[in-house]
Amino acid sequence: MDALDASVPAISPRRPISASVATFRALVGSGFRRYATYRQATLAGTFTNIVFGFLRCYVLLAVAAGAAGGAPGGYDARQLATFVWVGQGLLNVVGIWGWADLADRIRTGDIVADLVRPISPVTAYLAADLGRACHALLTRVGPPVLVGALFFPLATPSRWQTVPLFAVSVLLAVIGSFACRYLINATAYWLNDARGPLAFWTLGSGVLAGLYFPLRLLPEWATVTLWVATPLPGLLQTPLDVLIERDPPALQAGLVALQAVWAVVMLALARWVQRRAERRLVVQGG
């Protein structure tokens, strides 16, 4: 921690890149440490992930048993089980739910403290969120996958490119999810209270990211529309499809590229919205 003092260097193109990297890394570390302190909550959350893993896995396997050809949406039983169990772990890494920090800070006026810092709030919160995701990756993925592997036959990747592609896809999912959540939270700049949009997000993101059922079970026109027109499948469905090798390699690379496009678009949108908001923000004094 001795690297941090009052003169934290700004992340700016005019500064040496090493200084920007050091600041970014310090912020990632702080995000990691913040979540590392909630040890009991991590344990409780893991238990719930495992219960839902069993529920979803049994239902989807029963669907596979009843489907013509035994492969609903083009997934066999092993792929479905892997989809569910890795999905229960990945859900926490991507963190689609339960982030209202920014909205709360806007409502209370604490956001002022973020604005006077020499780093754009989007960059600072992204760094902290990457730290959170690292913590979730280390603690929340292993247990459900292990339990899943103990009780069900899981699919293992057979192509060498799957693992690096999966890693890239997870990183893009975290960035895309962060940008979406930032935008939802940022509605508080205009509405003062983001509870409505947050509820709407919780509802839409779970089902349209592929948490409730693999999106390929929908009619094809709906699947294609979702993939191309929204960032949501990129939050969960794409990394999981990559891992279980649902598609040929070229199509998988294409899906990850689409995910990257959406992550960049959403992040740029978040920065733009933040700049617009700063121009009109009136912090209520007190």
Stretch that binds another protein, among 12-20, 82-90, 141-149, 210-218 (CB under 8 A): 210-218
- Least CB distance to another protein at residue 43 (A): 8
Query: Look-up: residue for tokens 């050809």?
Result: 69
Please give the angle made by the CA atoms of 49, 55 and 58, to the nearest 5 degrees.
130
Q: Is 8 a binder of another protein (CB under 8 A)?
A: no
Residue from 100, 217, 253, 261 binding another protein (CB under 8 A)? 217
Stretch that binds another protein, among 11-19, 56-64, 134-142, 267-275 (CB under 8 A): 56-64
Which of 93, 252, 103 lies closest to 177 in space, CA to CA? Answer: 93
Residues of this chain, 179-208, that bind another protein according to CB under 8 A:
191, 193, 195-196, 199-200, 203, 207
Q: Is 62 a binder of another protein (CB under 8 A)?
A: yes
Which of 92, 88, 99 lies closest to 211 in space, CA to CA? Answer: 88
- Least CB distance to another protein at residue 49 (A): 9
Q: Is 151 a binder of another protein (CB under 8 A)?
A: yes
- Least CB distance to another protein at residue 77 (A): 13
Stretch that binds another protein, among 67-75, 164-172, 247-255, 273-281 (CB under 8 A): 67-75
DSSP state of 233: G
Q: Is 66 a binder of another protein (CB under 8 A)?
A: yes
Q: Measured from the CB atom, is 188 or 263 closer to another protein?
A: 188
Q: Maximum CA pair distance of the chain?
A: 66
Tokens describing residue 89: 């772990």
CB-neighbour burial class of residue 232 (10 A; exposed 0-12, middle 13-18, buried 19+): buried
CA distance 169 to 253: 10
Q: In sequence order, which residues have a C-beta less than 8 Å from that of residue 20 and are 6 or more positions away?
A: 9, 10, 11, 12
Q: Is 52 a binder of another protein (CB under 8 A)?
A: yes
Residues of this chain, 12-51, that bind another protein according to CB under 8 A:
38, 40-41, 44-45, 47-48, 50-51
Residue from 21, 67, 115, 265 binding another protein (CB under 8 A)? 67
- Contact call for residues 113 and 10 (beta carbons, < 8 A): no
Task: Provide the CA 33 distance to its chain's centre, in angstroms.
Answer: 19
Which of 201, 210, 202 lies closest to 86 in space, CA to CA? Answer: 210
Residues forming the site for another protein (CB under 8 A): 38, 40-41, 44-45, 47-48, 50-52, 54-56, 58-68, 72-73, 151, 191, 193, 195-196, 199-200, 203, 207, 212-213, 217-218
